[in-house]
Amino acid sequence: PQAIHLDAYRKPDYRIESLALAFDLEPEATRVKSRLQIAYDGSPSDLSEAALPPLWLDGDDLKLLSVCVDGTPLDETEYRQDATGLSLDVTSPGFLLEIETEINPKANTRLEGLYISSGTFCTQCEAEGFRRITFFPDRPDVMTVYEVTLRADKALYPVLLSNGNLVESGDLPDGRHWTRWEDPFPKPSYLFAVVAGDLACVEDSFTTASGREVALRIFVEHGNEGRCAYGMDSLKRSMRWDEERFGLEYDLDLFNIVAVSDFNMGAMENKSLNVFNSKCVLADPDTATDADYASIEGIVAHEYFHNWTGNRVTCRDWFQLSLKEGLTVFRDQEFSADMRSAAVKRIQDVRSLRARQFPEDGGPTAHPVRPASYIEINNFYTATVYDKGAEVIRMMQGLLGREGFRKGMDLYFERHDGQAVTCDDFAAAMSDATGVDLNQFKLWYSQAGTPGVTVTGEYDAAARSFELTLSQTIPDTPGQSGKRPMHIPLDFALLDPDGQPMPLKLACEEAAPTSRVLELRAARQTFRFENLDHEPAVSINRGFSAPVNLSIEHTPATRAVLMGRDGDSFNRWETGQQYATGLLLEAVEAGGEGRQTPEALIDALRETLLDEAQDPAFRALALTLPGEAFLADQMKTVDVDAIHIAREKMRGDIARALRDELLETYRGMQSNAPFEPTADAAGKRALKNLALGYLTASGKAEMWDLAVVQSRNSDNMTDRMAALALLTDRQGPERDDCLQAFYQRYRDEPLVVDKWLALEAMSVLPGTLERVKGLLKHEAFTLTNPNKVRALIGVFAAGNPLRFHQADGSGYQFLADRIVELDRINPQTAARLIAPLGRWSRFDGARQALMRQALETILSAENLSPDVYELTSKSLT
Ligand code: HT7
Ligand code: ZN
């Protein structure tokens, strides 16, 4: 397969002035008629007939039935068709093109284009699915207005939806019916959508700030109506928030969400017709956990926010994907921070960045936020484009201030509404609105790799001064070396022994603020602060203001200040994690057991556990030890067994030392009130379940009874799952009984069955791989449903380091075989399973060989998709 390069971008030769589509929906033979009004978009001097370039229309897996230009059918000599599309000779600068194609939605297991999920027709067009529906210039810089007519059997498909407004509908002979939709906003083809099925509908409404009444509808399979309330509420809160924070109002009279069970990703922001993976919108206390509720809130908001950041202003080409995704993730993070605890949200986001993006940035598939080339664009919906992209936007807000950032956003929409633009256009709006120079900053878009920042400080008691030295290094990544220093904004304070911020007076300045943003631009920079009466504790990169790997040493005294009293809760958490990480890595070096966990850590954890002034959700995070994968990422050569032993040993030490306090917390956080998915109630459950986890690690067998009772008797899924997640790691009859009871209770709830599969896949018990293999044949499992694949195979490979990396390599071979098998069904989902094998260089020689062998197995399979080929071949380099 060929790579596509950003440098090769050329603007399209033709505009599509309007598009009318008519669908005759049949599961195995859907007819699609398209009418495109086309105009040459080159310079007027090219307008001699001979000079007009051919018109290229992308097409994939389509049966072409007819092509007409201005009403005249073309014969086969007047166009050229290959497996990727259709090329037409053009003789006039403006013409009407009519094309009829036939497609087979039922055979579409890739879930790109038009497919069927549980009897419902639905589409997924981002990034390049529209070309699997009809021939079209399927690129985001071709925007047009759509009119869509849908015809289908009325009994089987009573609901017929597309983008925009419903303008007409009616009945047809033979039990069929039709609807017609018009979307007044020009859009790229990736935002087109159709849904047709027998669906139930939950309705509500929203009045915008300027008084527009918007009908809100969530369409679901019959029986799921009772699971829409939280999604609907999240939608209304998102609509209000975007008005208040960014002055952005909704622009049509209706907004539809459809939940489907077969979906490659989380959700899709099609104009006014968002399609959701049912997992990302359906919730009730019996089937969804607090984490599910929080994720639904964030994803509903994310897709809604795309209406402006992505739809009204879209991407010029797919290299600019982060223009919409990084910005929209940033917006959904800010929304969730406002809806819940901002401090807790920031810690969660940083944990997920470190778990998903940092390893990507340090591995064989590392790429910049704005990649320079790709083979398959589906492979670039990555943590780098999304989450590091969001960090880049967050840093801009840090540099411009919230007000400046808002001015930049206003200018961006003023300049670019209705256009397809670039990341440079976004940065230009930010810079022009505020006068802030972002030229060096823009390296964040083009240079891959997580910068390392080293911080050292020296206090001079006699001079009452403190000299802070910062230095940065940007690691080499595939295809990039010798990088330039970045512009890194570091939020900063110096704390006195009581944790109070000290004045920050630089030698050249009069002012002495108590916090400031240090802008690191050079490879090394020194700052000298004056008039300081004590040796300060350095609180830097507060709130994780820049996505860097920070290296800083603390004395026991300054660590205690930062862990116990830093006003920046992120750094309070971070310092504790850093302390525990250091101790755990020491123990790993010693083979796992290491020494007794120091009193200093136990005391700090006790203080946090019992500190009622702090949010329970924060306390739960502060008491959670760094995960095994995070610890592995800190090591030159990963030792999965020693990491597991060391972490379990430390958990046991803490559990035994704090048993009384943990039991008191476990009881204190119980509630008899009915379940509510609020941040407060969720925080209490998180702390309660953290306590339960430690209690079961304390070595007292009766503590396991608490978990068994909780797994059976809780009135909500959060508590049930928390208990089961503990039980799944414990050999014995209770484990099997509880898991079996859980499956029997929920066997008809696909989203809960996914949780059950994931519990089995996560287990640290020795027979896990065999059980996972057995579950492939279970009635509940199918390779054709991406949620099932991710729950069983994805969780085993990416979430169970101990068993995936077992020394005989059987975990690797298992994954390779499944990827090859799945590639024939759904390449996009198959490719997303490869990453754990790509980490081979971090392991010992024997595992390296076995992991590479598994990658070779994949590469040697016949007819590999470009998706799997690209990531496997890159992973081997
Ligand atoms: N913009 C969407 C990205 C997407 C996608 C969604 C569902 C299935 C396949 C997909 N390919 C790309 C989702 C989002 O970021 O909002
Ligand atoms: Zn998105």
Nearest CA to ligand 1 atom 14: 268
Nearest CA to ligand 1 atom 2: 268
- Token match 């994954």: residue? 815
Q: Amino acid letter at 602?
A: I
199-289 is a CATH 3.10.290.10 domain: no
β-pair partners for 81? 86
Nearest CA to ligand 1 atom 4: 126
Nearest CA to ligand 1 atom 7: 265
> Which token pair is 173?
């002979």
At residue 259, the pLDDT reads 99
> What fold is seen in the domain 314-446?
Neutral Protease; domain 2 (1.10.390)
- The rounded Å distance from CA 628 to ligand 1 centre is 29
Q: How confident is the model at residue 44 (pLDDT cuts 50, 70, 90)?
A: confident
At residue 594, the pLDDT reads 78
- What is the radius of gyration, based on Cα positions, of the chain? 28
Residue 619 and residue 683: Cα distance in Å, rounded?
9
Nearest CA to ligand 1 atom 15: 325
Q: Summarize pLDDT for 226-272 with one digit per residue, the tens.
A: 999 999 999 999 999 999 999 999 999 999 999 999 999 999 999 99
Contact criterion met (CB below 8 Å) for 182 and 165: yes
Q: Is the CB of 400 under 6 A from ligand 1?
A: no
Element (H, E) at 275: strand 273-277
- The rounded Å distance from CA 803 to ligand 1 centre is 31
Q: Please state the length of the chain.
A: 877
Strands 254-260 and 273-277: parallel
592, pLDDT greater than 90: no
Strands 176-188 and 165-171: antiparallel
Q: Is the CB of 268 under 6 A from ligand 1?
A: yes
Residue 829 and residue 790: Cα distance in Å, rounded?
8
Residue 389 and residue 381: Cα distance in Å, rounded?
11
> Which token pair is 497?
């022994």
Q: Is the CB of 325 under 6 A from ligand 1?
A: yes
Q: Is the CB of 355 under 6 A from ligand 1?
A: no
Q: Summarize pLDDT for 443-490 with one digit per residue, the tens.
A: 999 999 999 999 999 999 999 999 999 999 999 999 999 999 999 999
Q: How confident is the model at residue 45 (pLDDT cuts 50, 70, 90)?
A: confident
Q: How confident is the model at residue 43 (pLDDT cuts 50, 70, 90)?
A: confident
Element (H, E) at 33: strand 30-40
Residue 101 and residue 135: Cα distance in Å, rounded?
8
Closest CA relative to residue 166, chosen from 124, 143, 189, 195? 195
How far apart, in Å, are the Cα atoms of 802 and each of 92, 631, 759, 854?
A: 65, 13, 15, 18
Q: Is the CB of 264 under 6 A from ligand 1?
A: yes
Q: How confident is the model at residue 204 (pLDDT cuts 50, 70, 90)?
A: very high
Q: Report residue 231: phi and psi, to 5°.
A: -60, -45
Contacts 24+ apart (CB under 8 A), 107-112: 107/28, 108/132, 109/784, 109/825, 109/826, 110/825, 110/826, 110/827, 110/828, 111/262, 111/263, 111/264, 111/786, 111/826, 111/828, 111/829, 112/264, 112/828
Mutation choice for ligand 1 from 122, 261, 268, CB with most ligand atoms inside 8 A: 268
β-pair partners for 113? 124
Q: Is 315 exposed, middle or buried (0-12, 13-18, 19+ CB in 10 A)?
A: buried
Q: Is the CB of 163 under 6 A from ligand 1?
A: no
Residue 111 and residue 828: Cα distance in Å, rounded?
9
- The rounded Å distance from CA 28 to ligand 2 centre is 31
Q: Is the CB of 304 under 6 A from ligand 1?
A: no
Closest CA relative to residue 380, chosen from 873, 871, 877, 875? 871
> Which token pair is 663?
């039991």
Q: At what angle do helices 569-589 and 556-565 cross, to 10 degrees?
A: 130
Taking the CA atoms of residue 283, residue 286, residue 292 and residue 297 in that order, the dihedral angle to the nearest 10 degrees is 40
Q: Is the CB of 867 under 6 A from ligand 1?
A: no
Residue 490 and residue 519: Cα distance in Å, rounded?
6
Q: What is the pTM of this model?
A: 0.98
Q: Summarize pLDDT for 685-700 with one digit per residue, the tens.
A: 999 999 999 999 999 9
3-state secondary structure of 560: helix
At residue 222, the pLDDT reads 98
How far apart, in Å, are the Cα atoms of 668 and each of 290, 346, 629, 701, 707?
A: 19, 26, 31, 21, 16
Cα angle for residues 374, 378, 380 (degrees, 5° grid): 55
Q: Is the CB of 303 under 6 A from ligand 1?
A: yes
Closest CA relative to residue 711, chosen from 695, 723, 702? 723
- The rounded Å distance from CA 832 to ligand 1 centre is 13
Given this chain, do its domains 14-198 and 459-546 carry the same CATH topology?
Answer: yes
Counting from 1 in the atom list of ligand 1, the atom nearest the Cα of 378 is 11
526, pLDDT greater than 60: yes
Mutation choice for ligand 1 from 115, 261, 265, CB with most ligand atoms inside 8 A: 265
Could you give the percent of the chain with pLDDT greater than 90? 97
Contacts 24+ apart (CB under 8 A), 601-609: 601/654, 602/653, 602/654, 602/657, 602/658, 604/560, 604/563, 604/564, 604/576, 604/579, 605/576, 605/654, 605/658, 606/657, 606/658, 606/661, 607/564, 608/576, 609/658, 609/661, 609/662, 609/665, 609/691
Residue 382 and residue 793: Cα distance in Å, rounded?
19
Residue 689 and residue 140: Cα distance in Å, rounded?
46
At residue 308, the pLDDT reads 99
β-pair partners for 471? 454, 524
Q: How confident is the model at residue 507 (pLDDT cuts 50, 70, 90)?
A: confident
Q: Is the CB of 124 under 6 A from ligand 1?
A: yes
- The rounded Å distance from CA 325 to ligand 1 centre is 9
Q: How confident is the model at residue 49 (pLDDT cuts 50, 70, 90)?
A: low
At residue 464, the pLDDT reads 96
837 Cα distance to chain centroid: 20
Residue 107 and residue 710: Cα distance in Å, rounded?
44
How far apart, in Å, are the Cα atoms of 331 and each of 342, 726, 741?
A: 13, 35, 41
3-state secondary structure of 209: coil
Q: Is the CB of 376 under 6 A from ligand 1?
A: no
- The rounded Å distance from CA 87 to ligand 2 centre is 32
Counting from 1 in the atom list of ligand 1, the atom nearest the Cα of 264 is 8
Query: Which ligand is closest in space to the CA of residue 275?
Result: 1
How far apart, in Å, are the Cα atoms of 145 and each of 31, 142, 195?
A: 21, 10, 19
Q: At what angle do helices 640-657 and 679-696 cross, to 10 degrees?
A: 100
Closest CA relative to residue 265, chosen from 396, 100, 380? 380
> Which token pair is 391?
């960090």
Q: Is the CB of 190 under 6 A from ligand 1?
A: no
- The rounded Å distance from CA 626 to ligand 2 centre is 29
595, pLDDT greater than 90: no
Q: Is the CB of 832 under 6 A from ligand 1?
A: no
β-pair partners for 180? 149, 168
Query: Which ligand is closest in space to the CA of residue 329?
Result: 2
Q: Report residue 857: phi and psi, to 5°.
A: -55, -45
Q: Is the CB of 112 under 6 A from ligand 1?
A: no
Pick among 1.10.10.10, 3.40.50.720, 2.60.40.1840, 1.10.1740.10: CATH of 459-546: 2.60.40.1840
- The rounded Å distance from CA 229 to ligand 2 centre is 22
- The rounded Å distance from CA 266 to ligand 1 centre is 7
Which CATH number describes the domain made up of 14-198?
Answer: 2.60.40.1730
- The rounded Å distance from CA 381 to ligand 2 centre is 9
Nearest CA to ligand 1 atom 1: 268
At residue 701, the pLDDT reads 93
- The rounded Å distance from CA 275 to ligand 1 centre is 10
Counting from 1 in the atom list of ligand 1, the atom nearest the Cα of 386 is 15
Query: Which ligand is closest in space to the CA of residue 326?
Result: 2
Counting from 1 in the atom list of ligand 1, the atom nearest the Cα of 325 is 15
- The rounded Å distance from CA 325 to ligand 2 centre is 5
Q: Sketch the domain layout of the chain as residue ranges.
A: 14-198, 199-289, 314-446, 459-546
β-pair partners for 552? 455
Contact criterion met (CB below 8 Å) for 588 and 643: yes
Residue 585 and residue 797: Cα distance in Å, rounded?
23
Q: How confident is the model at residue 48 (pLDDT cuts 50, 70, 90)?
A: low
148, pLDDT greater than 70: yes
Q: Amino acid letter at 854?
A: A
Give me the active site residues, please.
Answer: 303
Counting from 1 in the atom list of ligand 1, the atom nearest the Cα of 303 is 16
> Which token pair is 801?
């380091």
Determine the average pLDDT of the residues in 120-142: 99
Nearest CA to ligand 1 atom 11: 126
Contact criterion met (CB below 8 Å) for 204 and 286: no
Which of 267 and 511 is assigned the larger pLDDT?
Answer: 267
Closest CA relative to residue 196, chosen from 215, 173, 175, 219? 219
Counting from 1 in the atom list of ligand 1, the atom nearest the Cα of 310 is 1
β-pair partners for 60? none
Counting from 1 in the atom list of ligand 1, the atom nearest the Cα of 329 is 15
Q: Where are the beta strands (DSSP E) in 694-779?
A: none
Residue 445 and residue 447: Cα distance in Å, rounded?
6
Q: Is the CB of 269 under 6 A from ligand 1?
A: yes
**Residues in contact with 366: Cβ distance below 8 Å, sequence separation at least 6, in sequence order:** 360, 384, 448, 449, 477, 478
ipTM of this predicted complex? 0.98
Determine the average pLDDT of the residues in 313-323: 99
Contact criterion met (CB below 8 Å) for 750 and 263: no
Q: Is the CB of 302 under 6 A from ligand 1?
A: yes
Residue 312 and residue 92: Cα distance in Å, rounded?
31
The rounded mean pLDDT for the chain is 97
Counting from 1 in the atom list of ligand 1, the atom nearest the Cα of 277 is 7
- The rounded Å distance from CA 176 to ligand 1 centre is 32
Q: How many CB atoms lie within 10 A of CB 68?
A: 14
Mutation choice for ligand 1 from 112, 125, 126, CB with most ligand atoms inside 8 A: 126
Residue 222 and residue 212: Cα distance in Å, rounded?
30
Contact criterion met (CB below 8 Å) for 811 and 773: no
Mutation choice for ligand 1 from 381, 384, 387, CB with most ligand atoms inside 8 A: 381
824, pLDDT greater than 60: yes
Q: Summarize pLDDT for 709-765 with one digit per residue, the tens.
A: 999 999 999 999 999 999 999 999 999 999 999 999 999 999 999 999 999 999 999
Query: Which ligand is closest in space to the CA of residue 190?
Result: 1
Q: Is 173 exposed, middle or buried (0-12, 13-18, 19+ CB in 10 A)?
A: exposed
3-state secondary structure of 612: coil
β-pair partners for 103? 30
β-pair partners for 120? 117
Determine the average pLDDT of the residues in 210-218: 98
Determine the average pLDDT of the residues in 388-408: 98
Counting from 1 in the atom list of ligand 1, the atom nearest the Cα of 112 is 9
51, pLDDT greater than 90: no
Q: Report residue 171: phi and psi, to 5°.
A: -100, 155
